[in-house]
Amino acid sequence: MKELSDEQLIARVKTGDTTAYKELYHRYASPVLGLSYRIVGDRAKAEEIMQETFWRVWDNVDSFRKQRGTFPNWVFGIARNLSIDVVRRRKIVRMEPLPDAHGDYAETSEQMKDDHDVAEAAWLLMKSEKVHHAMRELPDEQREVVEWIYFQGMTRREIAKEKDIPFGTINTRAQLALKKLKRALESNGFFEES
Residues 12-51 that bind another protein (CB under 8 A): 16-19, 21-23, 25, 29-35, 37-38, 43, 46-47, 50-51
**Would you say 86 or 121 has its CB closer to another protein?**
121
Looking at residues 78 to 107 of the shown chain, list those that interact with another protein (rule: CB under 8 A): 79-81, 98-99, 104-105
Least distance (Å) from another protein to the CB of residue 68?
9
**Would you say 16 or 139 has its CB closer to another protein?**
16
> Would you say 34 and 128 are in contact if contact means Cβ atoms under 8 Å apart?
yes
The radius of gyration computed from the CA coordinates of the chain, to the nearest angstrom, equals 17
112 binds another protein (CB under 8 A): yes
> Would you say 101 and 133 are in contact if contact means Cβ atoms under 8 Å apart?
yes
> Would you say 20 and 9 are in contact if contact means Cβ atoms under 8 Å apart?
yes
Euclidean distance between CA atoms 15 and 41, whole angstroms: 36
**Would you say 93 or 112 has its CB closer to another protein?**
112
Least distance (Å) from another protein to the CB of residue 83?
10
Among 8, 14, 179, 187, binds another protein (CB under 8 A): 179
Least distance (Å) from another protein to the CB of residue 128?
5
The string of DSSP letters for 25-39 reads HHHHHHHHHHHHHHH
List, in order, residues 6 or more apart from 52 with CB less than 8 Å away.
82
Among 5, 77, 90, 161, binds another protein (CB under 8 A): 77
Longest CA–CA separation in the chain, Å = 51
